[in-house]
Amino acid sequence: MPRLLALVPLLLATAMTLPAHAQMTSVYTELQIEKSCTVFARAEEGDGDWATLVCDGWRGYPVMLQYSDLRESLFYGYPPAGDMAPVWESFGGFNSTGTTIEWRLEQRGNDRVPIATIHRWFVSDAANGEEDVQVLVVEKVGQPHERDGCAMAYVVATGNSGANEKARAYADNLVHGFACGDQPAIDVGTVPLPEFVRYE
């Protein structure tokens, strides 16, 4: 069992008792493609169906949305510098994201810094019939000095009571020790997690 998955029960058991949580708060922003996003690049005619958009996030922290073949990949915060593009993180099935992004803020002196996001995805899954599986994806936010962001946890919201609280616990507990490339935590209820993918 990957070391991170082995820590999941301990993380959840201690989530509500850590003093640091008193300094964590949430704010919410809306991802409205038509109003808050600018097309950065898109497919030419005959070059498939893909696009990269840069969208408003929270107080200067952008959201980068990559779209291809009815699938999305999002990066929250400051992306890698230079020619490096964020990794593609998505699901194997057709998918889309909800409009509301929850940003977890850490109090640092007089400043509040967004360190993680929680975003609801809707994933087509043939094994679950016609109904989409809802997944809360918990992401590390790319910072100006460390442009490293990625998925830290997948919390299946369909058939999983308390999914929002669990997602916040993962966000708060994992972010400071998580290195992109580590195995994300997985939390399921009665519905399994759809296949997820990560391409460098």
Is residue 40 situated within a structural domain? no
Is residue 28 situated within a structural domain? yes
Tell me which residues of the chain have a pLDDT lower than 50. 1-21
Report the first-to-last Cα separation within the chain, whole angstroms. Answer: 23
pLDDT reported for residue 83 = 63
pLDDT reported for residue 125 = 85
Q: 18, exposed or middle or buried, with CB in 10 Å at 0-12, 13-18, 19+? A: middle
pLDDT reported for residue 127 = 72
Is residue 150 situated within a structural domain? yes
Is residue 12 situated within a structural domain? yes
pLDDT reported for residue 131 = 86
Is residue 59 situated within a structural domain? no
* Structural domains in the chain (count): 1
pLDDT reported for residue 23 = 86
Is residue 41 situated within a structural domain? no
Is residue 101 situated within a structural domain? yes
Is residue 46 situated within a structural domain? no
Q: What's the domain range around 185? A: 3-32+89-199
